[in-house]
Amino acid sequence: MSIAETKLELAKKIIETDDEEMIGYIKAIFEGQSDNWFEELPANVQASFNRGLTQSERGEGRPHAEVMKKYKK
């Protein structure tokens, strides 16, 4: 099935449904999509992410298991 056929099939199903919850889910999917999600984050979150990425690239990270052991209650 081509992408055009799939889109047409989905459009028909959306038009035919009266399920408000389903329509809400579909709407949320489209509204939640963003190609620039990183740029929408606050500047301090972006900076923290970039700092962590740089540290990881330098091999300064810690294994997940080690961190979990330290902070496990």
- What digits encode the pLDDT tens for the residues 28-40? 888 877 677 788 7
C-alpha pair distances (Å), 12 with each of 5, 7, 16, 35, 61? 11, 9, 6, 27, 49
Q: Please check whether residues 41 and 27 belong to one and the same domain.
A: no
- Give the confidence band of 73 by pLDDT, cuts at 50, 70, 90: low
Q: Please check whether residues 29 and 44 belong to one and the same domain.
A: no
Residue 15 has pLDDT above 90, yes or no: yes
pLDDT of residue 64: 85
Q: Please check whether residues 2 and 22 belong to one and the same domain.
A: yes
- What digits encode the pLDDT tens for the residues 45-70? 999 999 998 998 999 988 888 888 88
Q: Taking a C-beta distance cutoff of 8 angstroms, is the pair 53, 41 a contact?
A: no
Structurally, how many domains does the chain consist of? 2
| Domain range for 41 | 35-73
Q: Please check whether residues 20 and 52 belong to one and the same domain.
A: no
Q: Please check whether residues 25 and 41 belong to one and the same domain.
A: no
User: What is the C-alpha R_g of the chain?
Assistant: 21
Q: Please check whether residues 22 and 44 belong to one and the same domain.
A: no
- Give the confidence band of 10 by pLDDT, cuts at 50, 70, 90: very high
